């Protein structure tokens, strides 16, 4: 590590932080827009964007200004008292997403947990499912977070093994298989929980008609459709929500990552009043959820999204990204999946692993991360310039073809 890490930051990390990650051997000390700078002053293009938490790039001036201003007013009240920004944040987020009510949380996993709790409560209080028997249908290959309940229905053994006993009440069906989904629906089904595009699984887009068919299956069974748009939402795919590409509406959307502008964790469940309205005081909560600082940054994020600029950038830069990556597919080097400024590069057998490709790209000044063994995940900040995007793509194409 001597050359890469002369000051020993990596050694300190490895000695003192739990080993639940395997980071690339690079130590970031500052960042702006689509660029990262390491402790020795070397610059890198960010082709990961914090797994889409940094859709607006590092330290977007409007987001930093909103945070700074709020730091000088009030940052935390808890929900024991009202504050001036919660109602405005919730109204603006509901208006942006075309929904009716907002349940603010902090992390993505917490918002998914909240959606699960709300769906169960709705099943018992509204649908009339006998208490304690509600089921939620989920897809294989899913990633919804790391809590004990959420890993209970993961199909990734690394994420799940050793963490039992598991929470019951989930039915897993193959992602993209509409017949299997229809067969899994029952009178006790509270909801289907699905990623419109599976991020961690390798940026996998389901077959055409799958999401509309899932909506129809939910309607037929009187169940809720919950879309986990934590990674796919908020302009990443070229639309506000990935479901918008299909003209499909969910009953609940789970948002996170970019909602906090890369500054702090902000998540939310947004959706129908007839569903979120089942919660009564004391039944659910969070000390930090909906805090004034989160609302100030969240409102600035909503204002950026309301302009439509980032959706257009993702759409246009994404078309270019997919067109250029397609040359890899044409030469049999890799299969490309994804939508907008978001791609999975599935490297053909015999090529480098995702990890090896990411390490080679690090040497070329481009930082990204593998998804699965042979998959590279590409998700630059939506503020990236056309020429920076091309520079990064040149490096990727070069590393995979030489």
Ligand X SMILES: *Cc1c(COP(=O)(O)O)cnc(C)c1O
Catalytic residues: 143, 228, 257
For the chain, what percentages of helix, strand and coil (3-state, to nearest 5) are there?
40, 15, 45
Q: Which residues pair with 136 in a beta bridge?
A: 170, 191
Phi-psi label, residue 178: left if phi above 0, alpha if psi -120 to 50, beta otherwise? alpha
Number of Cβ within a 10 Å radius of residue 22:
8
Q: Does 144 bind ligand X (CB under 6 A)?
A: yes
For ligand X, which residue of 33, 57, 104, 108 counts as binding (CB under 6 A)?
Answer: 108
The residue within the footprint of ligand X, chosen from 199, 238, 271, 338 (CB under 6 A), is: 199
Q: Which is nearer to ligand X, 35 or 51 (CB)?
A: 51
Helix (H) or strand (E) holding 314: helix 309-330
H or E stretch including 189?
Answer: strand 189-194
- Establish if 261 lies at the interface with ligand X (CB under 6 A): no
Q: How far is the CB of 109 from ligand X (least distance, A)?
A: 3
Distant-in-sequence, close-in-space partners of 259: CB < 8 Å, separation ≥ 6: 234, 266, 267, 268, 298, 301
Our finding on whether 288 is near ligand X (CB under 6 A) is no
What is the nearest approach in angstroms of ligand X to the Cβ of residue 145?
A: 4
CB of 231 or CB of 311, closer to ligand X: 231
Candidates 57-65, 102-110, 129-137, 151-159; binding stretch for ligand X (CB under 6 A): 102-110
Please state, as a whole number, how many other Cβ atoms lie within 10 Å of the Cβ of residue 285: 14
- 236, 238, 231: which is closest to 199 by C-alpha? 231
What contacts 24+ positions apart, CB below 8 Å, involve 352-355?
Answer: 352/399, 352/400
Radius of gyration of the CA atoms of the chain, in A: 21
CA distance 210 to 90: 30
- Binding segment (CB under 6 A) for ligand X, from list 159-167, 179-187, 227-235, 300-308: 227-235
Rule CB under 6 A: say whether 256 interacts with ligand X. yes
Q: How far is the CB of 243 from ligand X (least distance, A)?
A: 13
Separation between Cα atoms, residue 274 and residue 119, nearest integer Å: 11
| Contact flags string 9-48 toward ligand X, x per CB under 6 A | ----------------------------------------
Residue whose beta carbon is closest to ligand X: 108
344 counts as binding ligand X under rule CB under 6 A: no
141 binds ligand X (CB under 6 A): no
Residue 152 binds ligand X, judged by CB under 6 A: no
Say whether residue 109 binds ligand X (CB under 6 A). Answer: yes
* Candidate list 121, 184, 185, 230; residue touching ligand X; CB under 6 A: 230
Site size with ligand X, rule: CB under 6 A: 15
Residues interacting with ligand X, by CB under 6 A? 51, 107-109, 112, 143-145, 195, 199, 228, 230-231, 256-257
């Amino acid at each position: 590590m001597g050359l890469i890490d002369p000051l020993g930051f990596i050694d300190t990390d490895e000695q003192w932080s739990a080993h639940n990650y395997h980071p690339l051997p690079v130590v970031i000390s500052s960042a702006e827009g689509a660029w990262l700078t390491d402790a020795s002053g070397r610059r890198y293009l960010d082709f990961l964007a914090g797994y889409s938490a940094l859709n607006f790039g590092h330290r977007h001036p409007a987001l930093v200004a909103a945070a700074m201003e709020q730091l000088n007013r009030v940052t935390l009240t808890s929900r024991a008292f009202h504050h001036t920004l919660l109602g405005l944040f919730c109204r603006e987020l509901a208006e942006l997403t075309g929904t009716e009510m907002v349940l603010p949380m902090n992390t993505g996993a917490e918002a998914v947990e909240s959606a699960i709790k709300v769906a169960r409560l709705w099943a018992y209080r509204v649908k009339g499912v006998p208490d304690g028997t509600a089921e939620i249908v989920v897809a294989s290959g899913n990633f919804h977070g790391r809590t004990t309940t959420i890993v209970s229905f993961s199909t990734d053994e690394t994420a799940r093994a050793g963490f039992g006993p598991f929470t019951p009440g989930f039915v897993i069906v193959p992602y993209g298989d509409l017949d299997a989904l229809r067969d899994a629906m029952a009178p006790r089904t509270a909801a289907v929980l699905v990623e419109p595009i599976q991020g961690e699984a390798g940026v996998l887009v389901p077959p055409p008609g799958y999401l509309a068919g899932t909506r129809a299956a939910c309607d037929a069974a009187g169940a809720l459709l919950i879309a986990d748009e934590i990674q796919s939402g908020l302009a990443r795919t070229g639309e506000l929500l990935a479901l918008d590409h299909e003209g499909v509406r969910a009953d609940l959307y789970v948002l996170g990552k970019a909602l906090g502008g890369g500054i702090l964790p902000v998540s939310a469940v947004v959706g129908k009043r007839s569903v979120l309205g089942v919660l009564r005081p004391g039944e659910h909560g969070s000390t930090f959820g909906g805090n004034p600082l989160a609302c100030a940054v969240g409102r600035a994020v909503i204002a950026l999204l309301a302009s439509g600029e980032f959706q257009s950038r993702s759409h246009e830069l994404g078309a270019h990204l997919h067109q250029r990556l397609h040359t890899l597919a044409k030469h049999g080097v890799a299969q490309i999946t994804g939508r907008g400024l978001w791609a999975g590069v599935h490297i053909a057998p015999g090529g480098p692993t995702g990890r090896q490709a990411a390490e080679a790209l690090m040497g070329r000044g481009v930082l990204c991360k593998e998804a699965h063994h042979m998959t590279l995940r590409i998700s630059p900040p939506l503020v990236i310039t056309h020429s920076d995007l091309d520079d990064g793509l040149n490096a990727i194409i070069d590393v995979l073809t030489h």
